Amino acid sequence: MATLGTPQTQAGILSFYDAPEKGPKLSAKLVLIIVALFAIIVLIFDHFLMVH
């Protein structure tokens, strides 16, 4: 029976995900709040700026 991956590829994947990241760390909750607020602002502007 063939294996799904060799230890070399598994180690490569782990080292890819364990690499230190440069940039801001944002929590998932903060990203969802920002997206929801942006969507609400867009809907409000769309409602008030709609040309009839």
Q: What is the residue-wise DSSP string for 1-52? A: ---S--HHHHHHHHHHHTSPPPS----HHHHHHHHHHHHHHHHHHHHHH---
- Read off the pLDDT of residues 10-38 as tens digits, 9 standing for 90 and up: 555 555 555 567 878 889 999 999 999 99
Give the domain ranges of the chain. 24-52
According to the model, what pLDDT value does residue 49 have? 85
Whether the pTM exceeds 0.95: the reply is no
Measured CA distances, 25 to 9, 21, 30, 34, 52 (Å): 27, 9, 10, 14, 43
According to the model, what pLDDT value does residue 50 have? 75
Q: Which residue has the higher pLDDT, 22 or 41?
A: 41
